[in-house]
Structure 1
Amino acid sequence: MLRLSVAVIAALAAMGVTPTPTSTAAPHDEPQQRVARAAGQTVGNGSRASCTSAAVVRAVARGGVIRFDCGPRPVTIKMRRTAKVVNTSAAVVIDGGGRVTLSGMGKRRILYQNTCDPKQTWTTSHCDDQASPRLTLRNLTLIRGDATGQRYDGGGGGAVFVRGGQLKIVRSTFLGNRCDRRGPDLGGGAVRVLDQYRDRPVQVVGSTFKNGRCSNGAALSSIGVSWRITDSTFLGNRAIGRGANPARPGTRGGGSGGAVYLDGNRFTLSLIRTTMRGNVAREGGGAVFFVSNDRTGTMLIRRSRLIRNPSRGFETRGLPGIFFLGARRPTIVRSVLR
């Protein structure tokens, strides 16, 4: 076990970061698991005041498994800077324990990972298809993130922007996140994803996306990325752009995918035991906008409920709340669409 001097421990505590004691990994553990355990750390030293934006930013930059010790009550940490994943991290797991909220205060994006951004360190010659970092958000709430005006790699992702590596979201809540109000192919009020390792799907499990606003995809948006969404809820998200994509003459474009906006070539979407209700698109797909440009993409809806998701402009006949262009019509199993 690594032993720190009293002086070092005191200095870290003053910064609001407390090293988590770890034991040596068992011989049968995978190397990447050992890296994550060795890098374990705790934000905070038991008081609310110790759980600061600066402590979160430092912890995310270091990587590994991040937990919080902010006292016995739920805490909201006001993010004064965007926390950015460094691409030399094998894994970054942010576990809020069900009591931590990160707020962008309506001023900034909360989390950023981009394997093709040289400022976060280039680690391979194929930045758009590398296995790490593996970012996991668990038992966490992210509110009032805002990526308005962010243009690097197309912008979007009011709470979370990810390009490259891998992303997983587990038992987390996204509330009132925003990105630009206008523009074609710009989206992700809560989460925007571009590129995933070996085209593996983004996993979303047991999570809630509520009251997002963006030009397109007010909850989730991606280009050429697959998603597997399980036991999750999308409520009251609105795609507020106007003019669709490509933008009609005299408009700035957007307005599609009230909850989810997916574009690109070969990708998949699975909605399993998921509810979408009260999401609205000013143009197409009040619940889901799905366009596979080469018509290879597929969609599965299983044991889900998509109810009252108006498409103000257009949707696919017989699929309320959905605009779909893909390999074939969506596969719908024991679900309700109305």
Structure 2
Amino acid sequence: MRAKPVLVLLALGVVAATLPACGSSNRDSDTPAGATPSATAGLSTADQQVAPAARTGLGGPGASPSPSRKPTPAFRAGNPNGDAPVPAEARAVDTSRPTRTVGTGTPASCTSAAVVKAVAAGGVITFNCGPDPVTIKMTATAKVRNAKGPKVVLDGGGKVTLSGQGQRRILYMNTCDEAQGWTTSHCQNQDHPQLTVQNLTFADGNSTGEKAEGGGGGAIFVRGGRVKVVNSRFVHNRCDRTGPDLGGAALRVLSQHDNKPVYVVNSTFDGGTCANGGALSSIGVSWSVLNSVFTGNSAVGSGANPAKAGTPGGGSGGAIYCDGNAFTVRIAGTVIENNRANEGGGAIFFVSNDRTGTMTIENSTLRKNPSKQFETRGYPGIFFLGARNPATPGSRLS
């Protein structure tokens, strides 16, 4: 064989010497923001000094950076611009040491049956359904057992939605319901259980056809004890579309202990539909609604209360419906807009039958809440009968 010229061999040697070693190029400038720039990122200094394992193939890519997890959307409820002070008893309950937990760390472990069982057992209840938001499809209504108080707390951590699937009420508490156990001789006025729902979403609850205690309460029904709602959302809940006095697509409340108020704090009510009270409804109950939002709720009944001849009744209180004798309503730092009523009070219907009730609306905005038939002159979106005209310091009504 003929030998290759020495000059050709020398030239090939020079070219080879100038080629970079495989995998030695610095790729930091091409690393997307948030991606791991190299296989040694996150290791200790000692670990990084160990020679990496040899890669197979010639000129192939290095280890691909792990895909970054999309950030979980922030849970938002209530009016971020609301600055009404929140009293201590209206604040969220400390759930750092729960009595029981729904779920074992996966979405599949967070079931309707687990929720029903936990609520019946009572205490402070939290959820462990994994790192991402989860919707639990309720196949039965969770019911509070009256002897399992005094406190029953559900805290979804901003990641849990309880869905009634458009078929059922989601949560029920009634101190006068014998099936849930009588614990005192005066069930209509006892201080327990004390129910708190916080950092939760209630969606697609439906109490249509529920006749006990007059019905209503598409997402939550409460009679007796105490109830408060903190940093929670209510979306597209509903109850019966007709009836002169039933209501509360999101929440229906009857008889609270010593007429202490139901607290609704930093919460949102959206798209509820009921005969009366597209969001909240009560008889003889006081409310304190702080830094919250009501939008797109509807009172769709017809004929008002008492029902006009030839009508099924209802249609009042697009967002809030309150009836009874001596009770108070305080709304502060809250936005109520784009709600509607077929009859009176596109935003709020308030009737104190003995004219002792009072209402205050502080530093709030009520706008675009049409009342198709009647409202109180000078108070757009409101129908009011009480001790005196509502006080509206710092509020805008239009």
2:200 to 140, 145, 151: 140
1:276 to 300, 318, 336: 336
Match status 1:55 vs 2:82:
no
Q: What is the aligned partner in structure 1 of residue 161 from structure 2?
A: 101
Find the aligned partners of 1:152 and 1:335 in 2 and give their Cα distance.
38
Q: What is the aligned partner in structure 2 of residue 327 from structure 1?
A: 387
Find the aligned partners of 1:235 and 1:178 in 2 and give their Cα distance.
14
1:72 to 125, 131, 137: 131
1:198 to 255, 258, 261: 258
Q: What is the aligned partner in structure 2 of residue 214 from structure 1?
A: 274
SS in 1 for 2:140: coil
Find the aligned partners of 1:218 and 1:191 in 2 and give their Cα distance.
9
Q: What is the aligned partner in structure 1 of residue 51 from structure 2?
A: none
SS in 1 for 2:200: strand
SS in 2 for 1:311: coil
Find the aligned partners of 1:112 and 1:58 in 2 and give their Cα distance.
13
Matches within 5 A, 1:76-87: 76-87=135-146
* Higher percent of residues as strand: 1
Q: What is the aligned partner in structure 2 of residue 310 from structure 1?
A: 370
Instruction: Note the C-alpha offset of 1:254.
Output: 0.3
Could you tell me whether the CA contact under 8 Å between 1:148 and 1:156 is conserved in 2? yes
Could you tell me whether the CA contact under 8 Å between 1:38 and 1:64 is conserved in 2? no
Find the aligned partners of 1:306 and 1:115 in 2 and give their Cα distance.
35
Instruction: Note the C-alpha offset of 1:308.
Output: 0.4
Could you tell me whether the CA contact under 8 Å between 2:347 and 2:382 is conserved in 1? yes
Aligned residues: 303
Letter in 1 for 2:305: N
Could you tell me whether the CA contact under 8 Å between 1:271 and 1:302 is conserved in 2? yes
Moved over 3 A (4+): 36-39
Could you tell me whether the CA contact under 8 Å between 1:37 and 1:64 is conserved in 2? no
Larger Rg: 2
Q: What is the aligned partner in structure 1 of residue 105 from structure 2?
A: 46
User: What TM-score do you get using the length of structure 2 for normalisation?
Assistant: 0.75
Could you tell me whether the CA contact under 8 Å between 1:37 and 1:65 is conserved in 2? no
Matches within 5 A, 1:119-130: 119-130=179-190
Q: Which digits, 9 at most, give the CA deviation of each residue in 1:139-177, with x for residues without a partner?
A: 000000000000001100000000000001000000000
Matches within 5 A, 1:168-183: 168-183=228-243
Find the aligned partners of 2:146 and 2:292 in 1 and give their Cα distance.
29
Match status 1:91 vs 2:163:
no
Q: Which digits, 9 at most, give the CA deviation of each residue in 1:162-207, with x for residues without a partner?
A: 0000001000000000000000001001100001011100000000
Q: In the superposition, relative to structure 1, how do residues 216 and 325 fare at CA in structure 2: closer, same or farther (>3 Å)?
A: same
Q: What is the aligned partner in structure 2 of residue 287 from structure 1?
A: 347
Find the aligned partners of 2:239 and 2:227 in 1 and give their Cα distance.
20
1:159 to 202, 219, 232: 219
Find the aligned partners of 1:140 and 1:47 in 2 and give their Cα distance.
18
Find the aligned partners of 1:195 and 1:102 in 2 and give their Cα distance.
25
Find the aligned partners of 2:356 and 2:101 in 1 and give their Cα distance.
44
Instruction: Note the C-alpha offset of 1:69.
Output: 0.4
Find the aligned partners of 1:117 and 1:101 in 2 and give their Cα distance.
27
What's the % identity of the aligned pairs?
Answer: 63
Could you tell me whether the CA contact under 8 Å between 1:204 and 1:229 is conserved in 2? yes
Q: Give the CA RMSD over aligned residues.
A: 1.0
Letter in 1 for 2:233: T
Instruction: Note the C-alpha offset of 1:38.
Output: 8.3
Find the aligned partners of 2:145 and 2:258 in 1 and give their Cα distance.
20
